[in-house]
Amino acid sequence: MPTKILVVGGVAAGASAAAKARRTDEAAEIIILEQGPFVSFANCGLPYYVGRVIPKREDLLITTPERFKDHFNIEVRLQQKALSIDPAGKQVVVKNLAAGEGYREKYDKLILATGSAPVLPPLEGSGLANIFHLWTIPDADSISALLAGLGARTAVIIGGGFVGLEALEALLARGLEVSLVEMLPQVLPAWDPEVAELVAGHLRDEGIQMILGDGVRRFLGSGILQQVELNSGRILQADLAVSAIGVRPRLELAREAGLKIGVTGGLEVNEKMQTSDPDIYAAGDIVQTRHLVSGRPVRLPLAGPANKQGRTAGANAAGGNMEFRGVLGSGIVRIGKLTVAKTGLNEQEVIDAGYQYDISYTYPLDHAGYYPGAKFMLIKLMADKETGRLLGAQAVGYQGVDKRIDVLATAMAAGFSVKDMENLELAYAPPYSSAKDPVSMAGMVASNILRGEVPTLTARDLRRELSNSADIQLVDVRTTEEFNQGYISGAVHLPLDHFRQDISRLDSRKKTVVYCRSGYRSYLALKILQQSGFREVFNLSGGYMNWSAAL
């Protein structure tokens, strides 16, 4: 008898699982149950459809039930809600939402890919019309219909994560006046504060009203949303609101079936994506997996891992032998003209995991400075203080960020140290990079710190030092023009161009911290001081740019 594989959920993980199962076993009977009206759609593309970057709705449909049948001989049943699982009887109770009828479907192997549901707290007025999520094609259809029909002028985005910022960009593209509300003190909570502040600064420069550290108290209107009241009492005008405060895993089926839930609140699976029931596999937003850096259990609802997990689950359910190693948490988002990306652990996660670590900040150009159009980016690296192993990386800039974060993710997955990174041979031509690529440059700076060649302080370190001791010699080596535009209070101004002649103005017995715009000129000054008898001298990592962003 052929193996019967039942897949519950037909978007990223579920569709990948079903297709891989077919490629593994041509004889298997494979059925997808999807409670929504679409299968295998690109939910990551929804904001770009609302913003008209993606002009055709059908472009979001990666495949269709008909194509699944024709290409893979897989049966897709839409608007079929799985109500419960009977693991002992190996069957699922299903309700046909269109017909209102129930039935039971047997299986030999079951794959759960039920995904996540967006969260909206039960606030006063949350039932008013024109309060949306942006999670499914019907969500995008509803927002698009409102924008086309009523000429909405004002919008409030609730939440400053991936979806919130992408929704912000989409509504700006449609000509709306948009306010962003985030309860935390920063946008992009998964990023470190000083990196997120560069994004926030860019949004402010673009004229976006950002309200951080404040949340929504209630929605106001008569049947239709008109205003949003914040916890602070502030009132925002809103023809529509998009809630993007997070998602919760759809675990009801798994819990009721008695499957083991992990410490993160995700469904526990092994490397083969098997749950505590060996005939039930799971993938996507609902599962708990292992972080490749810390080794700790994590639940990361991201499309890339969901597809790979689904592929692994599908292969093994059909008799294959694949393993899913774990996740890095790589992510990237475009906000206006800026791109911000990360991979590995953020700084708080590094601390929570118990690492002793070094931080480096570099501000390289994305390609050769003499070739037109070069733009600065920030790369932040965190590395184990003893081994130099790369623990986490974040980058923000106008161009070339995607390329660098992918190189860093690859290096991290391979267990590279920052010393390995300084020796990477990466492709170079003036339109694309520099002879020292930004990744290599970041590796060189981090390796200098690891070897003890360049003692450094972060902006937070320096602030703490200045608050605890007045006996610090702070030296600004930028040009006079740069210094006059802003400086750290108490700094002595000694421009690098005649630094050697002016060293006599400094006290070699004092603890000395040097800084410039981004850290390179102050590195040169530090080497001069080290070889001129200064015993305790430090470079401000990331320079004045990082001081401004962090503080």
pLDDT digits (tens, 9 = 90+) for 152-179: 899 999 999 999 999 999 999 999 999 9
| pLDDT at residue 550 tops 80 | no
Average pLDDT for 440-448: 96
Query: For residues 475 and 317, what is the distance between their CA atoms, to the nearest angstrom?
Result: 64
Contact 15, 32 (CB under 8 A): yes
* pLDDT over threshold 80, residue 549: no
Which residues make Cβ contacts (< 8 Å) with residue 188, sequence separation at least 6? 160, 161, 165, 195, 196, 199, 333, 340
Q: What is the pLDDT of residue 353?
A: 97
Q: Please tell me the predicted confidence (pLDDT) of residue 235.
A: 98
| 109-129 pLDDT, tens digit each | 999 999 999 998 889 999 999
pLDDT tens sequence across 406-425: 999 999 999 999 999 999 99
Please tell me the predicted confidence (pLDDT) of residue 422. 92
Instruction: Point out which residues pair with 380 in neighbouring strands.
Output: 361, 394
pLDDT classification of 466: cutoffs 50, 70, 90 = confident
**Residue 455 — pLDDT band, cuts 50, 70, 90?**
very high
Average of per-residue pLDDT values in the chain? 95
Output the six-digit token pair for 436.
């020292």
Segment 244-270 mean pLDDT: 97
Domains of the chain: 4-116+248-317 (3.50.50.60), 131-245 (3.50.50.60), 331-450 (3.50.50.60), 457-550 (3.40.250.10)
Over range 274-300, report the average pLDDT. Answer: 97
Q: How far apart are CA 96 and CA 105, in angstroms?
A: 12
Which residues sit opposite 101 in a β-bridge?
Answer: 96
Q: Are β-strands 101-106 and 209-212 bridged in parallel, bridged antiparallel, or unpaired?
A: unpaired
Helical (H) or strand (E) element with 332: strand 331-335
Higher pLDDT, 120 or 309: 309
Q: Which of 23, 29, 42, 44 is catalytic?
A: 44
Total-model pTM: 0.94
Q: Mean pLDDT over residues 3-23, rounded?
A: 97
Q: Where residue 551 falls among pLDDT bands split at 50, 70, 90?
A: low
Tokens of 92: 């699922």
pLDDT score at 470: 66
Q: What local confidence, expressed as pLDDT, does residue 120 receive?
A: 80
Task: Calculate mean pLDDT across residues 443-461.
Answer: 94
Cα 364 to chain centroid distance, Å, stands at: 22
CA torsion through residues 489, 495, 498, 500, sign: positive
pLDDT over 90 for what percent of the chain? Answer: 93
Whether 276 and 269 have beta carbons less than 8 Å apart is answered as: no
Those residues whose C-beta lies under 8 Å from the C-beta of residue 356, and which sit 6 or more positions away, are 384, 385, 386
**Active-site annotation holds for 516:** no
Spatial separation of the C-alpha atoms in residues 158 and 169, rounded to whole Å: 13
Residues 6 or more apart whose CB falls under 8 angstroms from that of 455 comprise 449, 526, 537, 538, 539
Strands 116-118 and 247-249 come out as antiparallel
Provide the β-strand partners of residue 93. 84, 104
Question: In the structure, what pLDDT confidence band is assigned to residue 256 with cuts at 50, 70 and 90?
Answer: very high
What the block records as the tokens of 270 is: 């092994």
Residues constituting the chain: 551
What is the C-alpha to C-alpha distance for residues 323 and 300, in angstroms, rounded to an integer?
18
Confidence of residue 36 (pLDDT cuts 50, 70, 90): very high
For 505, other C-beta atoms within 10 Å of its C-beta total 9
